Amino acid sequence: MTEEELLAAGYRKYYGEDINAFFNQSICQHSGNCFRGNGNVFNLKNRPWIKVDEASPDEVSRVIDTCPSGALKYIRK
């Protein structure tokens, strides 16, 4: 999907230097794979709760790929 398609589908964009993350709360199944996968990037206590530049793009994409609902997506720059 393109960035425009993700935003039109209700995803929120989280900016990073080399990769952007997208999250759609309405389809999240709350599996917890994200914050268990990397609590530095995905931390519900932080605002914003996704801090993409806290890990390498490979690490961010690895964790996002474990999201069973598809609520998390990414686009590398």
Within 1-77, strands assigned E span: 12-14, 19-23, 72-76
**Residue 29, pLDDT score:** 96
**Number of helices and strands in the chain (H, E):** 3, 3
What does the block give as tokens for 28? 């999240």
Q: Average pLDDT in the 1-9 region? A: 97
Tens digit of each residue's pLDDT (9 = 90 or more) over 38-76: 999 999 999 999 999 999 999 999 999 999 999 999 999
pLDDT given at position 22: 98
What is the number of domains present in the chain?
1
Residue 32, pLDDT score:
95
What global pTM score does this model have? Answer: 0.95
- pLDDT computed for residue 72 by the predictor: 98
Residue 50 maps to which CATH number? 3.30.70.20
Residues 6 or more apart whose CB falls under 8 angstroms from that of 56 comprise: none
Q: How remote is the C-alpha of 58 from its chain's centroid?
A: 13
Domain interval for residue 19 = 3-76
